[in-house]
Structure 1
Amino acid sequence: MSTQTTPTGPATLDDSEPSYIDYETFLDPSFTPASFANTLVLATNNPSDTPLDLSTPLSRVLFDIQEIDSHIDSLTTRSALPLLQYTQDNAEASNHILTQLQTQITALNDSYAQLDREVTQKHAEADQVRAVASRLWDTLRLARAVSRCLQLGRRLEAQHAELIGTAPAASSSTSSSSSSSSTTTITTTMTTTSATASGPGRAGGGSSREDHRALVRCAHTLLALREVFAGAGTPGAEGYGLDRVGVVRTLREGVVGPIERAVRETAERVVREFSMMGGVSSSTSSSSSSSSLSMSAATFAQLEETKARTVSALVALWLLTPAPTKSGERWVPSLMLQALEGYLRLALQSSIAGLSRALATLPSLEKTLAEVSARCQNVVALEAVLEGTKPPAHPGVPAKQAAQVGGNMLQPLLTYLETGSLASYYWRTMASSLAPRVQEIIAKGGVSARTLRTNRQSVGDAIRECVARGSQLPSAVAAAAKGTSRASETKEGGKHWEREVAVMVASVVNNLGR
C-alpha cells in the first residue's frame, strides 16, 4: 500500500485497512490498565467460577501486542524511504538556516563589539565624569551654604553690636580682618559678643549708642540661619551637609547660640522693664489731676521711644518663637506670651505684696495705692501698644495659621490668659489673692485689724478711686501708646470698670467682718 509524506512526517495507513485492535479504547483519555485488565478477565471468565482462567485474556493481550508490533514493522518497512527523505530534508533545511543565521550572528557580534567600543566604554567614562561633576556640584553647593552661613554670622555679629551699642568697635574689627581668616574672626568675636552681651550697654538699659531696631534685624537674621541649619539633614536642601562642616558647628555653637540667647534675654528684659508711667512719683496724690501732672517729666518723644523699643522686643520674640514641627500643629507666639505673662505676674506680685503691707499700716496706703494704680496704667498702656501693633509675618508659619492667631498682638495674649482685657485680669487676679491676706490681718487682730475696720469706708473709697484711676491713661500716654485719643473711654471709665471696682472693694471690705 502506498504512503505519502506530509510536512510533519509520513502519512498513516489507509483507514480502510482491517485491524483487530480497538484503537479507540486505548486512545480514550479515561483508559486505565487496571480497568482494561478487569474487563478482559470478566469477558473471558464466569464470575461464579472459583478458579480464574487468565491464559485467555493474557493471550488476547499478547495477540494485540504482536498485532501492533507487526503493524509498526509494516509501517516502517513501507515508509522507510519517505522517512529518510523527510529526515534528509529537515537536515538540509537546518543546515541552510544555520548558514543564514551564522552570517547574521557574525554581523550581530560585530555590531555588538562596535556598540561596546562606542557606547559602553564611553558611557563608563561619561559616568565617571558625571560622578565627578556631581561631587563638584555638591561641594560648590556646600561651599555656598557655608559662605552664606558665615555672611549671616558676620551680619548677626554686626547687628548684635548695634544692639548693645558697640557697632563702631565691631566695624573696625571687621574691617581689619582679612577674608582668609573668617573662621578665626567669628570665633574670636564670639568671645567679645558673649562678654558684651551682659555689659552695661544693653538694649533698654539707657545706652545712648544702642539701637533697639537691631532686635528685629537680629531676629530676621536668626530666622535665615535657622532655615539654612534646618536643611542640614534633608537631601537637596540648601544646608544639606552643613552639620559635617567644622566651621559651621563652631559658628552655630559659638556665635549663633549665644547671640540668640542674648537677643531673647534682651527682648524679655525690655518687656519686663516696660513703663510708660515712669514719671509718677512716690508722693502721687489720690486725685487723677495730680497723676496727669506727674507725667510732665516724660516727654512725648520719650513715650514714643519706649513704645518703639517695646514693639521691637515683642516683634523679636514673635519671630524667634519656633515654627510648628508637625503638619496641622497649632502655632502660638509662646516666647512673647511668656514674656508678657512674666511682666504681668511681676506687676501683680509687687502690687499684692505692697498693698498687703499697706493694709496692715494704713498711713502708707495712699502711696501704695498710687503705685498700684501706676502699675495698672502701665498694663493698660501695654494693652494699647499690643492692640495697635500688627504681628509680623513669620516665615515658618503658614499664612492660614498666622491668620488664626489674630490681627494684632493683643488677641493671642487675651486668649492665652482667658480674659477680655488686661486691666480686668490685673484687678481680678489681685482681688483673688488679696482676700486671704486681709483675712490673715483680721485673724491676727491688734491695732492693724482695729484700724482697718475703723477706716472701712475710707479704705473702700481709696481702693475704688485707685481702680478707676489705674484703669485709665492720661491723654499723653494714651496718644503715645495707641496713637488715638482715649477721651471717650475716660468719660465711660466708671461704667466700664464697675465690676472690677466692685471685686476689688469686696476683696477687702467684705473680709473685715463687723
Structure 2
Amino acid sequence: MAASNPAGTTSTYIDIASLTSDEFSPYSHANNLIVATNNPSDPAIDLTTPLSRVLFDLQEIDSHIHTLTSRSALEILTYTSTQNAAAQRILAKVEDERARLTASYDRLEKEVLVRHQRAVDAKDVAQRSWEVLRLGRSMQRVLALARQLEVILAESGLGGTTRLGKEDHTALVRGSLVILAFRNTMSGKDGHDLGRINLVKALRGRAFEDGEAKILDFARRVVREFSMSTLSSASTSGLSTAGPTFRETEDSRARFTSAVHALYLLSPAPKINGEKMARKDFEPEYLIRALQGYLQTAITSSAASIGRGLGQLPTLDRALLEASARCQNVVALEVLLRGIYTPEHPLLRGEGSDGKVNDTSDEDSEGEPEIPGPKKQSSDTFLALLLSALDTASLPSYFWRSLASSLAPRVSDILSRGGVAARTLRSQRDVVRAEIRDCVLRGSKMPRSVALGNSPAAAKTEEVVENWEREAAVMVGSVLGPLGR
C-alpha cells in the first residue's frame, strides 16, 4: 500500500488489492464491516457506523482516483489521442472496403441475380407454354379420336335402319379400340387437366359414352340373338330343312366373334396405384354377364315350356324340341368360344411388363391418331373364362343340370294339384322318359353348320357331344323322380 502511494496523498488503510480482486464479494465485505463495528451479542444492530465507514472509503477512493488522473492527465490524453487516430485510420479503411464490397455486390446483383430472375421467369413462361402445347396436342388427339369414332359408327350402320347382315360388325372392335385409346389418354398424366376442358367434357358424353353405349347394345343383342340350330325351323315348317348356308354360318360366326371381342375390350379395367391391371386378374364383366344372361334365358325359357308341356302332354314334344334347339345353340356357343382367344388388351399388363401407363399425349398428333389393333392372342379362350365364372366343366352339362333342377319343383306342383294332368303324367311315364332322352340326344348333337367348320364339305352328319347319357339320366330323374315307382 505504501509503495502504491509514495506521495502519501491518500489514506493507506484502504485495502485496494482486496477491493479490486476478482474474488471480491460485496456481501462478504458488508458482513465484515457490520461484524467489525457491532457486538454479536447485542440484540440490536447499529448500521450507522458501517455506513459511515463505507462512505468514507468511497470518498478516499474518489480522492485517490482524482489524484491519479490529475497526475497522469497528459499521458492519458496522449494515449487517447493516439488510439482515436488509429481507430479513425481503421475506420477509413473499413469504409473503403465496405464501399468496394457494396459496389461488387451491386455489380453481381445486376449481372447474376437480375439475370437469374429473368431466366426463372423465362423458364416459367416456357414451361407453361410447353404444358399448354402438350395439353393442346392431347385435346387434338381426343378430337381426332372422337371424329374417328363417329365415322366408324356412321359407316358401320350399327343401330340404324340397315337390314340385318348389312352391318359392318368389324366396326365393333375398331370402335372399341378407339374408346380404349380415349380411356388411356384420359388416364394419363394430362387426364385431369383434359377433364376440366368443356370441349372434352362434351365429347366424352356425346361421342365416346354414346358410342360405347351403341356398341355395347349391338354386341349384347348379337349375343342375345345367337342361334345356329335348325330344329325350331324344321318343327315350324313340318319339313326337314337344309339349315343355314355356309355363307350365313360364317357371317354369324364373324358377327358373334366381333361382339364378344367388343364386350371383352370394353369391360372395365381400372388401374391400381397408377399401374395397369394384370391380365390374369382381369375379369371381363360385360362379356361374362352377356353370356350368363344368354344361358339363363335359355334355361328359364326351356323350363317354362317343358313345365307347361308336362301339364299338357300333347304339347310336350314341341316344348322338348325347343329345349333341344336351345341346347344345340349352347353346344354351338361352346364350340365357338373354344376357338376364340382373348385379344391383346391395351389397358392390361401382360406377363413381364412393368405395368406403367404409357402416356401418348405428347406425341405429334398432326394427323389421325394411331389406334392399336389386336396385336396377338393369348392362350386363354373365352370358353375358359366363362367356365371359370360358371364353375362348370361344360356348357351343355350346365344347361341340362340347371334345367333339371328347375323341372323338379314344377313336376311336384303338377302332382300336388292332382287331376287329369297328374294321372296322365303317371300313366305316360315311359313315353315321357323316351321323349326326354330323345330331347337330350337331339340337343347334345353339335349343329351341322358348326361341325362343318371352315370347310363346307368337311362333314355331313351331326356330332354328338360326350356324356349325353349322363345328362339324359339327370333330366329323366328330375321329371320321373317325383312320380315314384
TM-score for the superposition, normalised by structure 1:
0.73
Partner of 2:384: 411
For the 8 Å contact 2:444–2:464, the answer to whether it is kept is: no
Alignment of 1:323 with 2:269, yes or no, is yes
Superposition RMSD in Å: 4.0
Residues 231-271 of structure 1, C-alpha deviations (whole Å, 9 max, x = no match):
5xx5xx2x564345444333333222221110110111111
User: 3-state SS of the aligned residue for 2:270?
Assistant: coil
Match status 1:452 vs 2:448: no
| Higher mean C-alpha displacement, 435-444 vs 128-137 | 128-137
Counterparts in 2 of 1:459 and 1:66: CA distance versus 1, 3 Å:
farther
Residue segments in structure 1 that go unaligned for 5+ positions in a row: 2-16, 165-196
Which residue number corresponds to residue 180 of structure 1? none
Q: Residue 348 of structure 2 aligns to a residue in which SS? A: coil
**2:23 is the counterpart of 1:27:** yes
- Larger RCO: 1 or 2 (CA < 8 Å, sep 6+): 2
Instruction: Give the partner amino acid of 1:512.
Output: L
Residue 309, structure 1, aligned to residue 282, structure 2: no
The AA in structure 2 aligned to 1:140 is L
Secondary structure of 1:27's aligned partner:
coil
Asked if 2 retains the 8 angstrom alpha-carbon contact of 1:419 and 1:425, the reply is: yes
Q: Is the 8 A contact 2:441 2:468 kept in 1?
A: yes
The answer on whether the counterparts of 2:446 and 2:465 sit within 8 Å (CA) in structure 1 is: no
1:96 aligns with: 89
Alpha-carbon distance between aligned partners in 1 of 2:405 and 2:33, rounded to the nearest angstrom: 115
1:364 to 311, 315, 327: 315
Measure how far apart 1:465 and its partner are. Answer: 3.6
Partner of 2:186: 229
The answer to whether 1:277 aligns with 2:229 is yes
More displaced stretch, 153-162 vs 95-104: 95-104
1:151 pairs with 2:144: yes
Unaligned 5+ residue runs, structure 2?
2-12, 356-377
Q: 3-state SS of the aligned residue for 1:392?
A: coil
Match of 1:500 in 2: 471
Q: Tell me whether 1:220 sits opposite 2:177 in the alignment.
A: yes
State whether residues 307 and 481 of structure 1, in contact with CA within 8 Å, keep that contact through their aligned partners in structure 2: no
Name the CA distance, whole Å, in 1 between partners of 2:51 and 2:14: 22
Q: Pick one of 235, 239, 242 that aligns with 2:194.
A: 242
What SS class does the counterpart of residue 502 from structure 1 fall into? helix
Q: How far apart, in 2, do the equivalents of 1:279 and 1:465 lie? A: 13
Contact 1:387/1:409 (<8 A) preserved? yes
Please tell me whether the aligned partners of residues 408 and 479 of structure 2 are also in contact (alpha carbons under 8 angstroms).
yes
Residue 324 (structure 2) pairs with residue 373 (structure 1): yes
| Number of residue pairs aligned between Structure 1 and Structure 2 | 442
How far off its partner does 1:498 sit? 5.2
Residue of 197, 203, 208 corresponding to 1:251: 203
**Following the alignment from structure 1 to structure 2, what is the Cα–Cα distance between the partners of residues 45 and 71?**
28
1:328-339 pair list within 5 angstroms: 331-339=282-290
Q: 1:120 to 1:452 in 2, by over 3 A?
A: same
1:206 corresponds in structure 2 to 164
CA distance in 2, matches of 1:278, 1:436: 30
Q: Note the C-alpha offset of 1:230.
A: 3.7
Higher fraction of helix: 1
Q: Distance in 2 between matches of 1:465 and 1:23?
A: 133
Contact 2:445 2:465 in 1 (8 A): no
1:61-97 per-position Cα deviation (integer Å, ceiling 9, x unaligned): 5566567656655765677666555544543343333
Which segment drifts farther, 53-62 or 151-160?
53-62
1:188 paired residue number: none
Partner of residue 174, structure 1: none
**Offset of residue 507 of structure 1:** 1.8
Counterpart secondary structure, 1:458? helix
Q: Please state whether the residue corresponding to 1:281 is helix, strand or coil.
A: helix
1:31-180 to structure 2, matched below 5 A, reads 33=27, 37-38=30-31, 41=34, 45=38, 47-55=40-48, 57-58=50-51, 61=54, 65=58, 69=62, 84=77, 87-122=80-115, 126=119, 129-164=122-157
Q: Which residue of 2 aligns with 1:386?
A: 337
CA distance in structure 2 between the aligned counterparts of 1:380 and 1:24, rounded to whole angstroms: 119
Distance 1:345 1:393 in 2: 29
Letter in 1 for 2:160: G
* Structure-2 separation of matches of 1:79 and 1:371: 138
Cα distance, 1:149 vs. partner? 1.9
Q: Secondary structure at the match of 2:431?
A: helix
Change (3 A) 1:342 1:48: same
Using the alignment, how far apart are the partners of 1:324 and 1:448 within structure 2?
A: 55
CA distance in 2, matches of 1:407, 1:62: 113
What CA distance in whole angstroms lies between the structure 2 residues aligned with 1:387 and 1:74? 124
Per-residue deviation, 1:272: 0.9
Question: What residue is the counterpart of 1:461 in the other structure?
Answer: 434
Shift of 1:490: 6.2
Aligned CA distance change for structure 1 residues 53 and 26 (closer, same or farther; 3 Å): farther
Tell me if structure 2 keeps the 8 A contact 1:163–1:211.
yes
Q: What's the secondary structure of 2:235's corresponding residue? A: coil
Q: Secondary structure at the match of 1:267?
A: helix
Report how far residue 135 of structure 1 moved. Answer: 4.4
Query: Could you give the per-residue CA deviations for residues 402-457 of structure 1, whole angstroms, max 9, x where no partner exists?
Result: 99x98222233223223333223222222222222111211222222111111222
Report the alpha carbon displacement of residue 369 of structure 1 after superposing the two structures with TM.
1.6
Where 2:482 maps in the other structure, the secondary structure is coil
Listed one character per residue, the Cα deviations across residues 187-237 of structure 1 (whole Å, up to 9, x for unaligned) are xxxxxxxxxx54332xxx6233x2211110000011112222345xx5xx2
Alpha-carbon distance change, 107 to 355 in structure 1, aligned in 2, over 3 angstroms: same
Offset, 1:343: 0.9
- Does the 8 Å contact 1:215/1:313 carry over to 2? yes
1:462 is matched by which residue type in structure 2?
Answer: E
- What's the offset of the Cα at 1:474? 4.2
Contact conserved, 1:463 with 1:504, CA < 8 A, in 2? yes
Give the TM-score normalised by the residue count of structure 2.
0.77
1:263 to 209, 215, 222: 215
Name the residue aligned to 2:481. 510
